[in-house]
Structure 1
Amino acid sequence: MGGVGKKTTLAKAVYNDEKEILKGKKFLVVLDDVWNDDYNEWDDLRNLFVQGDMKSKIIVTIRKENVESMMGSRAINVGTLSSEVSWDLFKRHSLENRDLEEHPNFEEVGRKIADKCKGLPFSSKDTCWVPESEWKPEGFLMHDLVNDLARIASSKLCIRLEENKGSHMLEQSWHMSYSMGEGGDFEQLKPLYKLHQLTTLLLIDTDYSPPLTKRVLHNILPRLTSLRALSLSNNWIVELPDVLFIKLKLLRFLDLSRVLIEKLPDSICVLYNLETLLLSHCSSLKELPLQMEKLINLRHLDVSNTFSLKMLLHLSKLKSLQLLLGAKLLLGGHGGLRMEDLGELHNLYGSLSILELQNVVDRREALKGNFWGKNHVDKLSLEWSESTADNSQTERDILDELSLGQLPSLKFLFIRRMHRITEVTEEFYGSSSSEKHFNSLEKLEFEDMLEWKQWHVLGSGEFPILENLSIENCPKLIGKLPENLYSLTELRIPRCPELKLEAPLFVEAELFTSQLKGMKHIVELSIVGCNSLTSLPFSILTSTLKTITISHCRKLKLDLPVGEMSYSNMFLETMALYECVSIDDISP
């Protein structure tokens, strides 16, 4: 009977008729989590059990010392679990049958959660993670009557307008969203100049919305000096006036995603209270103001898919920055970042592009980038520009020191224009102690590696979930690809003429044949400009393969040996052959 308090009156009424049943009998009663310290109520409850056998027991669990004095007996203090035992209990209930070694990130977070339970076993069990499939939104449901009451109470403070309907309620509103629609005009909201109390404004654009006029941007928005949150996302805006933000110094949230501006006005740098700035999918945005470091409270910056933006200057000076999405960083040169600047950015999320890596001079400088600490980056692009220096060792050292194979969240990796590198060695994968390298990688692309000759393959289960592999314009690459790419669905090898892909069909499978055997889920195969390819082993092609594209493979022949499967038995849907001059005939 948990939480004894006002329930004692009810308990007395319920158990009053049970006195005769308990009379002379031995019983055990457990009162759990008792907080009531009223003597009279305890005396009433005690009288319910006085006629029982003297050997009867009543166990009471308490967390309040005053209740102990009401019991009239000595308390037994139960100790808490040790840190290790608490972690073991939490781990057993949260991970269930999963292997902790397959989820190394869980331990650090899990131990912190277990420590917060302060050694209490029930707390450790109750705070365990619930599988997503078993989650129910019961804690977020609201009764219809409560929902109606909440909407009535907030109706004057929060308003949602469509076109110009309901604008008479604006003067009382603090939070407003406005969908202009086809016939709406933001300027026609007559009380707009009087909205000194407005703290939230969301201008929602639709397919038929007219563009925001200069009058709105120059004269109306700057007067809303109480704004804390402003969204102009997806509106037809090509230029923001410099006067826009001068008086909006209370602004904490600004969403300019999907607008057509080429640059931000310098006045944005006076928003000292700004915490969130969203600039994603701004296709025309090319630069940020030079004084961005003045945004001393900026915590969240999103520039993902803003492809024309190449320089993010002085980001290391944004000391409050906790979340950076889609960063594209330029190293060296005039105004570029240093590797140590990159190393100080500990909260990079999402995509990260690093340009002009040829400006990194040696292995020691590469270490300053602290790549092994970029645990939340899931898409990484590394680009070198044209370099006249013949220093392949430096490029290889840089690539090795990045320890890319140890990034736990990395899903997409693009490496381009390393013109001087000749080898990708074992150090590319990172620490040899890791059982699986590139554990989360789904897509890997190498492009324009003009001197690359050899890819050292570990053969220890690297790339366990790789789905897409592309090697383009690597004219000197020889040797073999990683084996046992069981998850691979797409393989592209254009303009790699020296890559050894040939293999006999009836002797021990090697190179290309052995690699194809390991690709159990491949859907699309594209081979371009591989002059060493002489035959295609149809007999070992997986049934998942739907499309084959082969171009400029001058020695390739498609003669099928006697007794092998015919084309009609294959699962192919599309087979495209271009400039394969040795193919004389394709038999039906």
Structure 2
Amino acid sequence: MIEELSDLQLQASDNWCDFYNKLQAGKSNGKLLEIVTNAAEIVTKAATLLCPDFEENTQTLQRKIELLKSRKVDVQADLQNAGKKRKRAVEDWLINVENNITEFETLEQEIQCSRFYSRQKLAERVERMTKEVMELDEQSDFPGGLFLEVDESIGQLMLTPSHNGQAFLQNFDDIWASLMDDNILSIGIYGMGGVGKTTLAMHAHDNLLNEPKFLGHVYWITVSQEFSIHKLQSDIAQALKLDFSCGSEEKKMAAQLFQTFQKMESFVLILDDVWKQIDAEKIGIPPRRDGCKLVITSRSKEVCYRMGCQKIIKVNTLSKQEAWELFLKKFGRDELHPEVEEICKKMVKRCGGLPLALVTLAGSMRGVTDIHEWRDASEELKQSCMGRADMENEVLPILLYSYDRMRDPKLQHCFLYCSLYPEDYPIGREELIKNFISEELMDRRLSWRAENDQGHAILNQLERACLLERDWDGYVKMHDLIRDMALGITKHNHRYMVKTGRHLREIPDVQEWTEDLDKISLMKNSIKEISIGMSPNCPRLSTLILSQNPLKSIPDCFFTQMRGLRTLNLSETSIQYLPHSISDLENLKTLLLKHCYSLKSVPTLEKLRLLTRLDLAYTKIEELPDGVESLTNLKVLDLVGTSLSMIPTGILHSLSLLQKLRLPIDIGVPIEDVLALKQLEDFCGSVNSVSDLNRLITFLQSMTQPSFYSIFLISKFVEQSYLAESRSKLVCFEHQSLMDSSLGEGKILLPRDIEELIFSGSGLRMVSLADGFLMLNNARYIKKCNVYREGEIECIIRLPSTEEQQSRGVSFQSLEGLSLFELPNFIDLFMWEGKGAVAPLLPGIFTQLTDLLIYRCNKMKKFIPWSLLQTLPNLQKLEVISCKEIEEIIGDEDDDGSPIINSSAEVTMPRLKVLKLEDLPKLKSICKGMMICDSIENIIMTRCTNLKKVAPLDGQPSPPPSLKEIRADAKEKEWWESLEWEHPNAINFLQPFVKFVPSWPYSF
């Protein structure tokens, strides 16, 4: 099949090429008709072979889109008729629906123009869109209705869990009334673990962000059981975006925090999970004064009293009915078989009305249908809860039961491994999965990609079972009670010693290092040294984690009685030299030294023949450790950011099992060695020539497994931090690497699945970026493009005519992000030769573009003409920075100087969320027409003092519904107050959103 398709591709390409040449020559004859006919037959046959269900699937998607449009009309009608404040989820749903409708319209155009070799990608898009549309259809039920019962913040929302019940609403009303009462300055919220204190406080936090009374000065700090004054001060400073100028002395830090709070007219500080009395003044929190409130949550009523809370609110457990409703909601079904319902109610009763227990129980039982399994589960839970008399501990048996219900040992082992991290610590999913692989906690798979997929599946299962919770994108965390349960299990069965995040200054006494220990984690402490002569007797110890400590040295004898050690993590320490005893750890499989910036050398690794993962990224080593060529089982080698000057030829060739290889990007890779790595799936490094680049890309595309890659052509000055954990598929040309005049059209290969392309001083001798793309094969589907310091680039596309553009085939239809940096001759996004009417662009060009950054392009005078604004229908983020000549963002004149817009014309940017304008001394206008931009969330304007009007905010009787924040330079308050507004009260209703910040760059 593959060979047949390959032949078809060759035939089709030849026929279309012949057709094109004949057409250009004007030789339309019978032979030409024959060529076209042959090509059409080949295309049809190939398209059918590649995607036999393509037409049917596209029609199915079209039907679903039409149904979604109808549902959208119904929802909008309901919203208009009611006049209440709609839920944020409803707003997001409408935006997502509109995006899908727009994308489908673009997709239809692409299908009509598609050739057989692009249909496979189109088929994948159809499949993806069908899933998205089905999900949107399912979401359109909106449990609880379209409108808010309690006003939700449209500001910087935290991930507030859903909540139900009269008890929750009553507690929230009490908290909110206290927050609005000027006589109550401190509030305590207490209740047993898992009862929902944090959820209530989160909901209050979210609503306060949109409360004008506090001007957005609402700060959330998680305290936890293991806290210190210094850590709490640092966390508060981070929330305040405050850099301590006084050093790390606690008294001076307290004074600086005190001064910062005193400058605020009002604020709310929420301290979550307080275990014991905190001296507020010692931290730097001002004593009670009007407009400033302190909120704490604690398991102890006594703590609330001792901290002087004026209002103390107890969070009670749920009523029987509320508990049942919450269970059903999390279980995902409203109706149950009568016998199953009876069993469920008994199980729910054992949860004692604790939300955490109910949610966890529902997660563990999701998907169970057999009545026998239900009865068995009920008996298990009954046995688990026996002997528990007090309510505080009653939640732990429920959690333990949910752990036991997993059955699968690999799920249990992976779950317990998460307890090695500190309390309330956001754990990166990618980091966790790498550790699951290194620790051999999962089933073995043939490829790194397959193991990575398995890791994500396991984390998803743990999330669905509510034993892990998603913190933010790419991170998970454990509820402190669930972590307590996990650590309780490890004390009896798996023998962990976990002392993390406690600010320990010394390593635990040798007596605590017992012979039966399996894993030890001391990460994120303040341990600077290990006593000379300390040699713990831990023959069974398999994992030792000392990362994130200021550890400078380890005595040579420390590892002599740890011969069973398989994982050693010393990442992010201050260690300079490793003890020679590491060379004798012959069972070691993972050695992690990432971000050990002081590490200059590593002892011989010759005996560590079982090693599968070696991470030396961002260390100061100048030579590869002795014995690396002996590591024939090595699968992961990371050397990014090191001081290596070369990779000796032949070294990599001996590491035939490598799946992931990351090399310093300022030295050329021995290309023959890399081409010998037949298991390679993830590569980062540089090549010395276009020839080497083409060979490497051909090699990567021949691999059976999909790959990640970051490839640099002749890299010398790139910032290596850019690649710290890049998961993009990118290629970068820089340092005059494209100066060769022999480089013709399509001479440089790019991978078929490339996502990001970078030009950085590469010597592009092109007026337009599109012309530069013509040298590159497979550039059509790039999602992100960054262009740095390219002296000859004047525009993105130069168009003598639409026909020429069409023939050259540069469409930018998949581009989502475009960044232009320091282009001294850049004039405009689009340029046409000659004068006269502007020719229309090809349909679909830039329709996927969401992010656009223009920096130091000092010949630009306007960003885009109004007539071409529809070219960017999905633009969400626009940043224009340090462009000294720019006068307009949306131009009101055509290239020939004729006006095309007046003050009454409407200019719509339907999806713009972020507008950032910085250091534009000649900017006079964002837009002279009436700008409609209801989606705007953040606006930042600094050093734009010639600007008189802020178009996205002008002419409106109220702020845009999605507006979160307006930032301006603290030195430019007078300019802000001098701005002109169509609406007389605009300056007043916008004031709560305005923040004046110091004169340094900010990003959203």
TM above 0.5, yes or no, is: yes
Please say if residues 549 and 575 of structure 1, whose CA atoms lie closer than 8 Å, have aligned partners that are also in contact.
yes
Q: Aligned partners of 2:412, 2:982: CA distance in 1, in Å?
A: 78
Name the counterpart of 1:294: 673
Q: Which amino acid aligns with 2:660?
A: L
Name the counterpart of 1:51: none
Superposition map of 1:521-536 within 5 A: 521-529=936-944, 531=946, 533-535=947-949
- Residue 317 (str. 1) matches residue 695 (str. 2): yes
Q: Aligned partners of 2:954, 2:796: CA distance in 1, in Å?
A: 44
Q: Which amino acid aligns with 1:383?
A: Y
SS at match of 2:819: strand
Find 1:330's aligned residue among 709, 723, 734: 734
- Residue 203 (str. 1) matches residue 618 (str. 2): no
Calculate the TM-score normalised by the size of structure 1: 0.56
Find 2:933's aligned residue among 514, 518, 531: 518
Name the counterpart of 2:173: none
Find 2:822's aligned residue among 393, 407, 417: 417
Deviations 1:353-389 (A, max 9, x none): 21125432567962434376353x54421023456xx
SS at match of 2:772: helix
Q: Which amino acid aligns with 1:232?
A: D
Name the counterpart of 1:266: 648
Q: Aligned partners of 1:241, 1:577: CA distance in 2, in Å?
A: 47
Q: Aligned partners of 2:564, 2:812: CA distance in 1, in Å?
A: 48
Larger mean Cα displacement after TM superposition, 557-566 or 444-453: 557-566
Find 2:585's aligned residue among 189, 192, 196: 192
Q: Aligned partners of 1:236, 1:331: CA distance in 2, in Å?
A: 25
Q: Aligned partners of 1:86, 1:329: CA distance in 2, in Å?
A: 42
Residues 85, 452 of structure 1: CA spacing in aligned structure 2 closer, same or farther, 3 A cutoff? closer
Calculate the TM-score normalised by the size of structure 2: 0.36
Residues 463, 536 of structure 1: CA spacing in aligned structure 2 closer, same or farther, 3 A cutoff? closer
Q: Show structure 1 runs of 5+ residues with no match.
A: 1-80, 116-124, 503-510, 580-588
Q: Show structure 2 runs of 5+ residues with no match.
A: 1-50, 69-99, 112-118, 140-331, 333-362, 369-402, 414-435, 442-517, 522-535, 543-560, 701-706, 710-728, 892-906, 1000-1004
- Residue 222 (str. 1) matches residue 646 (str. 2): no
Q: Aligned partners of 2:519, 2:889: CA distance in 1, in Å?
A: 62
- Residue 445 (str. 1) matches residue 869 (str. 2): no
Please say if residues 343 and 370 of structure 1, whose CA atoms lie closer than 8 Å, have aligned partners that are also in contact.
yes
What displacement does 1:526 show? 0.6
Find 1:492's aligned residue among 907, 912, 916: 916
What displacement does 1:469 show? 1.5
Q: Aligned partners of 2:52, 2:753: CA distance in 1, in Å?
A: 35
Residues 143, 497 of structure 1: CA spacing in aligned structure 2 closer, same or farther, 3 A cutoff? closer
What displacement does 1:232 show? 1.5
Q: Which amino acid aligns with 1:323?
A: F
Q: Aligned partners of 1:419, 1:226: CA distance in 2, in Å?
A: 54
Please say if residues 580 and 603 of structure 2, whose CA atoms lie closer than 8 Å, have aligned partners that are also in contact.
no
Find 1:353's aligned residue among 743, 758, 779: 758
Superposition map of 1:247-286 within 5 A: 247-249=630-632, 251-256=634-639, 260-263=642-645, 265-267=647-649, 268-271=651-654, 273=656, 275-279=658-662, 285=664
Q: Aligned partners of 1:556, 1:113: CA distance in 2, in Å?
A: 46
Name the counterpart of 1:549: 968
- Residue 471 (str. 1) matches residue 880 (str. 2): yes
Please say if residues 548 and 575 of structure 1, whose CA atoms lie closer than 8 Å, have aligned partners that are also in contact.
yes
Please say if residues 326 and 349 of structure 1, whose CA atoms lie closer than 8 Å, have aligned partners that are also in contact.
yes
Name the counterpart of 2:120: 108
SS at match of 1:568: helix
Please say if residues 421 and 452 of structure 1, whose CA atoms lie closer than 8 Å, have aligned partners that are also in contact.
yes
Q: Aligned partners of 2:750, 2:104: CA distance in 1, in Å?
A: 28
Alignment RMSD, CA only? 5.8
Q: Aligned partners of 2:913, 2:411: CA distance in 1, in Å?
A: 54
Please say if residues 218 and 243 of structure 1, whose CA atoms lie closer than 8 Å, have aligned partners that are also in contact.
yes
Deviations 1:165-214 (A, max 9, x none): 7545889x9994334699x9875469634x5xx7xx2224599x998784
Q: Aligned partners of 2:125, 2:817: CA distance in 1, in Å?
A: 31
Name the counterpart of 1:22: none
SS at match of 2:886: coil
SS at match of 1:406: coil
SS at match of 1:223: coil
Please say if residues 567 and 591 of structure 2, whose CA atoms lie closer than 8 Å, have aligned partners that are also in contact.
yes
Q: Aligned partners of 2:59, 2:674: CA distance in 1, in Å?
A: 44
Please say if residues 737 and 763 of structure 2, whose CA atoms lie closer than 8 Å, have aligned partners that are also in contact.
no
Q: Which amino acid aligns with 2:875?
A: L
Residues 500, 230 of structure 1: CA spacing in aligned structure 2 closer, same or farther, 3 A cutoff? same
Q: Which amino acid aligns with 2:608?
A: L
Q: Aligned partners of 2:134, 2:884: CA distance in 1, in Å?
A: 51
Name the counterpart of 2:478: none
Name the counterpart of 2:222: none
Name the counterpart of 2:290: none
SS at match of 2:988: helix
Q: Aligned partners of 2:125, 2:819: CA distance in 1, in Å?
A: 36
Greater helix share, 1 or 2? Answer: 2
Q: Which has the larger radius of gyration?
A: 1
What displacement does 1:311 show? 7.7
Q: Aligned partners of 1:556, 1:379: CA distance in 2, in Å?
A: 35
Name the counterpart of 2:482: none
What displacement does 1:291 show? 1.7
Find 1:380's aligned residue among 782, 785, 788: 785
Q: How many residues align?
A: 447
Q: Aligned partners of 2:52, 2:737: CA distance in 1, in Å?
A: 55
Q: Aligned partners of 1:414, 1:113: CA distance in 2, in Å?
A: 25
Q: Aligned partners of 2:410, 2:919: CA distance in 1, in Å?
A: 65
Residues 212, 452 of structure 1: CA spacing in aligned structure 2 closer, same or farther, 3 A cutoff? closer
Name the counterpart of 1:72: none
Q: Which amino acid aligns with 1:486?
A: P
Q: Aligned partners of 1:93, 1:536: CA distance in 2, in Å?
A: 42
Residues 488, 242 of structure 1: CA spacing in aligned structure 2 closer, same or farther, 3 A cutoff? same
Residues 445, 488 of structure 1: CA spacing in aligned structure 2 closer, same or farther, 3 A cutoff? same
What displacement does 1:295 show? 0.5
Q: Aligned partners of 2:998, 2:405: CA distance in 1, in Å?
A: 66
Deviations 1:389-438 (A, max 9, x none): xx85899589x999886252x44321122222333216899993434624
Please say if residues 797 and 830 of structure 2, whose CA atoms lie closer than 8 Å, have aligned partners that are also in contact.
no
Deviations 1:336-355 (A, max 9, x none): 89687884121565543211
Residues 262, 422 of structure 1: CA spacing in aligned structure 2 closer, same or farther, 3 A cutoff? same
Residues 395, 495 of structure 1: CA spacing in aligned structure 2 closer, same or farther, 3 A cutoff? farther
